Amino acid sequence: YLGMYVLESDPIHQFAEPTQTVHFPDNETPWSTLIEKNGHLQIWSEVLSLKKPPQGHFMSLIRGLKRKRFDVVECAFLPHSQQRVGTISAIAATIEADRFAIYRCPDEDTAKQVALDVTHALQVGPWVFRSIPVLMYSDPHYEMGQLPDDKITWSPLLKNKAFAQTLQDYVASQI
């Protein structure tokens, strides 16, 4: 543990079988020597403590939504090919049974532009929540052939005041 960071060793040979459910005992796992030697941790702690902490991240965002009793499941990072221009990173998540692409932008102005570009989105601070319903495509399996906007059932969360307020509270808590 390094202040606000966690450094974790993830060696290739730590499981006894291919399904990766049975771990080797700790004394048989080749953990990184960077973790084992306290001298390295002390040096890193001093260097990292000088850097400004990042403002908000996906895990804290999801935890914040869950604390406010929003059901959030199926979170996964999106590949770079599905990121929008100007975004830092993106995840897909199901919130209250509605699918969303959640984009993290470097600042609020960029997020506003991304929200305008993608449409059917809610922008709060540096975050953009884009509704991506399963049935927005004529071929949902391959996500091909987007239907006309008036044929798509967009997420009602885009207009939900409690949802928007929860996001605004989260952004305010990260400043």
Residues 125 and 81 in one domain: yes
What pLDDT score does 12 carry?
78
Does 32 lie in the same domain as 69? no
Q: What is the pLDDT of residue 126?
A: 95
- Is 68 in the same domain as 89? yes
Assess whether 62 and 20 both reside in one domain.
no
Note whether 76 and 48 are same-domain residues: no
Number of domains composing the chain? 2
Q: What is the largest CA-CA distance in the chain?
A: 61
The confidence score (pLDDT) of residue 1 equals: 41
| Same domain assignment for residues 72 and 2 | no
Crossing angle for the helix pair 58-67 and 161-173, to the nearest 10 degrees: 130
Contact (Cβ atoms closer than 8 angstroms) between residue 83 and residue 101: no
Domain co-membership, 34 together with 97: no
40 alpha-carbon distance from chain centroid: 29
Pair (115, 131) in one structural domain: yes
> From first to last of its 175 residues, what are the pLDDT tens digits of the chain?
445 566 677 787 887 877 777 878 888 888 777 766 655 555 655 655 555 545 678 989 999 999 999 999 999 999 988 999 999 999 999 999 999 999 999 999 999 999 999 999 999 999 999 999 999 999 999 889 999 999 999 999 999 999 999 999 999 998 7
163 and 91 in a common domain: yes
Do 3 and 70 lie in a common domain? no
Query: Tokens 């609020």, residue?
Result: 108
Cβ–Cβ < 8 Å for 90, 82: yes
- Rounded to two decimals, the pTM is 0.70
How many other CB atoms are found less than 10 A from the CB of residue 110? 20
Last residue of a domain, one of 53, 79, 94: 53
* Residue 132 belongs to domain spanning: 58-173
